[in-house]
Structure 1
Amino acid sequence: MTTKITVIYDNPVDPESFESTYPRAQVDLARALPGVQSVESSKVWPKEDGSPTPAYRMLDLSFPDYDTASRAVTTPEAGAFLASVQSAATGGVRILFSDVEVTL
């Protein structure tokens, strides 16, 4: 069963600074993780009333299974990626492992 690691970035203190480094520091490092099959980046739409969104961005990393994902996060590549995530996530971050149950 496919396993997905989802990185949920909360609203950064300085969105412009976050955006200036995000593609290189987050997406490119995620692509370098051993065993990763796909990387999907998404940005949360702003609320129409201008209030803060519950999250700012998400980064989904797909692996063929849980064991592959678990091994990937123990590598030097993951160390670089996770250090970059922690540095960039000035508003907070959540990282989830999940089984993909349905793919259409």
Structure 2
Amino acid sequence: MPTKITLIIDNPANTEDFERTYAEVKAAAKKFPKLQRLESAKVWPKEDGSAVPAYRTLDLYFDSYDDASAAVATPVAADVFGALAEAKATFTGLFADVEQA
């Protein structure tokens, strides 16, 4: 079954510094073995100016749960998560079964 790993990245202290490092995160993530597709998104600001619940999302699509699980055990994962740590980014990671409409 198709599986998606979603990283929900919290609001960074300094968005400009984070964006410079995030380019490295995306470049590294594209090297995950058996990655089918990558989607990166920036959360829209709220119209009333209040804080958004997260800053970015990164979605990594794989053909199966096994492929996704194996990918996060590779040196590529160390590069991705290391770059996020370097940016002092906190995040939540989710594995999800992708349901086709």
| TM-score, scaled to structure 1 | 0.91
What residue in structure 2 maps to residue 60 of structure 1? Answer: 59
What residue in structure 2 maps to residue 9 of structure 1? Answer: 9
CA contact (8 A) 1:10 1:89 kept: no
* Identical amino acids, percent of aligned pairs: 50
Q: Which runs of 5+ in 1 are unaligned?
A: none
Q: CA RMSD in A?
A: 1.1
> What are the equivalent positions in structure 2 for 1:4-83 lying under 5 Å apart?
4-23=4-23, 25-83=24-82
Q: Which runs of 4+ in 1 moved over 4 A?
A: none
CA contact (8 A) 1:9 1:89 kept: no
- Name the count of aligned residue pairs: 101
User: For the residues of structure 2 that align with 1:39 and 1:63, how far apart are their CA atoms?
Assistant: 9
Tell me the secondary structure at the aligned position of residue 40 of structure 1.
strand
What residue in structure 2 maps to residue 87 of structure 1? Answer: 86
Question: Residue 98 of structure 2: which of 94, 97, 100 is its match?
Answer: 100
User: For the residues of structure 1 that align with 2:68 and 2:98, how far apart are their CA atoms?
Assistant: 13
| TM-score, scaled to structure 2 | 0.93
Q: Which runs of 5+ in 2 are unaligned?
A: none
Tell me the secondary structure at the aligned position of residue 5 of structure 1.
strand
User: For the residues of structure 2 that align with 1:39 and 1:29, how far apart are their CA atoms?
Assistant: 11
User: For the residues of structure 1 that align with 2:71 and 2:19, how far apart are their CA atoms?
Assistant: 25
